[in-house]
Amino acid sequence: MKTRELFWQNVIKERHQILMSLSKNRAAPFETAEREYLILQKKLLDGARTDWERRHIKRLIAQDILNEADYRARSWEEFSRALRRMQRLGYMDADAQLHAACLTVWAVLRFRDKEPLAWVMMEKAERRLRRIRRGHFLREEGLETIANVRTRAARLGLTPPPLGDGATPSGTSRGQGSRSRIRLLNPPA
């Protein structure tokens, strides 16, 4: 087996070990989980060879920290710190962006004043998914997830922005851009 394959298998194994140790200690505060993942990140970055590998490791760890924040964060400051880390590093793919948006929607159940932010994130994730070609499983699954989250959130008292007939969340009809049409004026006589 090649050394890079072994390296990435080790990344998976180390992340899994921390996840399992944290799952056994459900009472551990978010700061403890965050610290454990950041220590692991530092260790893994020492073995990374390229900028891509370093960035990818940071993104993986940021996603792990956000998952822990969803479960352990006691304040918006803790959750938003994990969310900002993930946003700053950029999402690995459309699925990671959707995952962060969904976690933010569920976090809003505890932090109601942040509801607009959650729906803006969901709208951005939906726009990204809609750029994937029709029929692709990621697009279909992602849009189905968004519809499910909107329905469940509405049942829990969260009010997603309304969608009009044939409209995207931003309010523009499908197939049209968000820019207004250019109107040509006759030159003055």
Top mean pLDDT of 33-37, 107-111, 156-160 is at: 33-37
Nearest to 85 by CA among 52, 62, 115: 62
DSSP label of 73: -
Q: What is the mean pLDDT of residues 50-69?
A: 97
pLDDT of residue 171: 43
pLDDT of residue 8: 95
Is pLDDT of 172 > 70? Answer: no
> What whole-number percentage of the chain has pLDDT above 70?
85
107 compared with 185, residue with greater pLDDT? 107
> Are 115 and 158 contacting, i.e. CB atoms less than 8 angstroms apart?
yes
Tokens 């990374």 sit on residue: 48
Token pair in block for residue 178: 């968000």
The sign one gets for the Cα dihedral 138, 56, 108, 167 is negative
pTM of the entire predicted model: 0.81
**Measured CA distances, 13 to 36, 44, 65, 71, 188 (Å):** 14, 11, 16, 22, 73
Q: 110-118 long-range contacts, Cβ below 8 Å, gap at least 24?
A: 111/76, 111/79, 114/76, 114/80, 115/158, 115/159, 118/158
